[in-house]
Amino acid sequence: MLEGKRIVVTGVMTRDSIAFATAERAQRAGAEIVLTGFGRARRMTERAARRLPTPPDVLELDVNSAEDLAGVHDTLAESWGRVDGVVHAIAFAPPDALGGNFLSTPPDSAETAFRTSAYSLKALAGALAPLMPAGASVVGLDFDASVAWPVYDWMGVSKAALEAVSRYLARDLGARGVRVNLVSAGPLRTPAASGIPGFDALASAWERRAPLGWDTADPAPVADAVCLLLSDCARAISGEIVHVDGGFHAMGTEAVA
């Protein structure tokens, strides 16, 4: 499905992440990939990379650094010449922007959450857009931002911003034939989830309400949807949010026996 495509995958930290599952499936579908890592966490990315079917290169990328973004562009321009797909799996909020601290979160923490989790989609896509031919695809990982969630606070606000950013990118990159979409995943036990207070209660509610059920330990369905959106099978889809959540988002309440 992805034969011959060259894809950048961000956000691989451990083998339990959605980004790792996406990288693995993309390789098995025929893609050539590179990963990105940042600072001390890059060592974790490099360890995870060695567990992929074909260990890829890992490029240094702090998505908030203009220098790093330019460096990734230049490296890929020289080594690949083009980029057919980009997976944005980057999100961060300081502890005081989560856990029920919405009203007391200082502006600097809210700004950090927004810049790293939402503006970064524009920054990454903008840096690599000159290398993306018609038919290329940008896919970001999302969590439903249509409602307010317990304890999610400024990360929830940032995800709402991410959804808006993706639509504006779809507008502006569409003239180049580049697609931009999001995959809104149900809760998964990933490294990112470990930093969200109250995750267990949220996951339990999801398992009860999703009509198809939901396995919080299995990122494969989400990774498969990302690969679909990276492929030519989704060549006419842009500005979309694809929910991969067992149908939870469409239910008003838990099923009544």
Residues noted as catalytic: 152, 159
> Virtual CA dihedral for 178, 184, 185, 186, nearest 10 degrees?
-170
Q: b or e along 154-173 (b: 16 or more beta carbons within 10 Å of the residue's beta carbon)?
A: bbbbbbbbbbebbbebbeeb
Spatial separation of the C-alpha atoms in residues 251 and 199, rounded to whole Å: 20
Task: Dump strand ranges (E) for the chain.
Answer: 6-9, 32-37, 58-60, 85-88, 137-142, 179-185, 241-244
Q: How many helices (H) and strands (E) does the chain have?
A: 8, 7
Contact 169, 137 (CB under 8 A): no
State which amino acid sits at residue 236.
A
State which amino acid sits at residue 40.
R
Q: What are residue 34's DSSP bridge partners?
A: 8
87: three-class secondary structure by DSSP: strand
150: three-class secondary structure by DSSP: coil
Listed in sequence order, the residues at least 6 apart from 134 whose beta carbon sits closer than 8 Å to its beta carbon are 176, 177, 178
